[in-house]
Structure 1
């Protein structure tokens, strides 16, 4: 599993690449639990990268208080992701 973070003034995006059904379940359940704890809600979607790899994208727009960074950090730590660009 690896991740990529992009952010601009009021916009932040976390992309998490994973492989297989086990990682998919882990990523989806972890992200859902963490996002549910916060008032600010993102747009999320899943894209297929290859036959074996998918990516979950979590986007916050109009993040005036810049909460997304803390949320992303919690997700990354909970999933034990060590590669994050």
Structure 2
């Protein structure tokens, strides 16, 4: 299983626009089951990375670290791209 840790860069955290951008990107990897959880949380508390509502329910704020996990062909590359999205401030124009 591939795993990647990322820091939330958007000032509003993983809410509204940043969550929508991330969920849309995660949904492009239909062949992978990608999950996200706050750093330090057990893996069984992880939520579906392609679900905007699940992302917002995490309550991940600016500067908080999250763990992305996926298993399957291309998982490392997918998590790298998704981590980059989280580490980009989507609140700026």
Compute the TM-score of the two structures, normalised by the length of structure 1: 0.51
Q: For residues 6-29 of structure 1, what are the alpha-carbon distances to aligned partners after superposition, in whole Å with 9 as ceiling and x for unaligned?
A: xxxxx1111111367524336533
What residue in structure 2 maps to residue 42 of structure 1?
34
- Choose between structure 1 and 2: higher strand proportion: 1
For structure 1, the 5+ residue unaligned runs are: 1-10
One of 3, 27, 32 as aligned partner of 1:13: 3
- Following superposition, the deviation at residue 79 of structure 1 comes to 4.5
Matching residue within 56, 60, 72 for 2:66: 56
- Determine the C-alpha separation between the residues in 2 that align with 1:44 and 1:21: 19
State the superposition RMSD in angstroms.
3.4
Number of matched residues?
66
